[in-house]
């Protein structure tokens, strides 16, 4: 399904799911976007089946979970191996996210968590074993995310 195939109902549902997928009911979404709860459930099933919705993940405050080191590592992988290396990175304990970049020489961005500097050292050592050149490591103080507004805060009645 391409973005062009999403209608306002789909966008409204996606907006509400991004805001709070755990506690928002199909009935609440239906009221907000002007359709029945069964239509919302069918739309969600279709969005999942077509890969628009890839899953539901909680937002974790790593510091409160006793993971004091939340790191962003900017790396370079050989272009021909970028996807393979990115997949291998996901197998390392402590890695919570990997982004493959299309442009620039810093073409792999990694998010990792650890309880202390020893775990941070272990993670960076394992990354270098994968033929990654680590360009920078930054400790994150606080991360913020929000729903993509193109999906339509204006499409839901709150």
The residue extents of the domains of the chain are 3-57, 69-139
Tokens at 141, concatenated: 């103080």
pLDDT per residue over 88-106, tens digit each? 999 999 999 999 999 889 9
pTM (predicted TM-score): 0.78
CATH fold of the domain at 69-139: Alpha-Beta Plaits (3.30.70)
Whether residue 109 contacts residue 75, with contact meaning beta carbons closer than 8 Å, is answered with: yes
Fold of 3-57: Arc Repressor Mutant, subunit A (1.10.10)
Q: Which two tokens stand for residue 96?
A: 């919570």
pLDDT tens digits along 43-69? 999 999 999 999 988 888 888 888 889
Closest CA to 44 of 107, 77, 1, 4: 1
């Amino acid at each position: 399904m391409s973005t062009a195939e999403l209608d306002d109902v789909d966008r409204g549902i996606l907006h509400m799911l991004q805001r709070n997928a755990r506690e928002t009911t199909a009935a609440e979404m239906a009221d907000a976007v002007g359709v029945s709860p069964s239509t919302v459930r069918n739309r969600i099933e279709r969005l999942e089946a077509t890969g628009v919705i890839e899953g539901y993940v909680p937002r974790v405050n790593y510091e409160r979970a006793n993971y004091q080191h939340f790191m962003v590592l900017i790396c370079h992988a050989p272009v021909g191996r970028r996807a393979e290396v990115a997949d291998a990175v996901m197998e390392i304990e402590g890695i919570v996210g990997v982004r493959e970049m299309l442009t620039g020489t810093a073409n792999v961005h990694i998010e990792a968590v650890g309880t202390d500097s020893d775990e941070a050292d272990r993670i960076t050592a394992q990354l270098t074993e994968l033929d990654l050149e680590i360009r920078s490591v930054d400790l994150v103080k606080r991360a913020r995310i929000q729903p993509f507004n193109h999906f339509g805060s204006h499409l839901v009645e709150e």
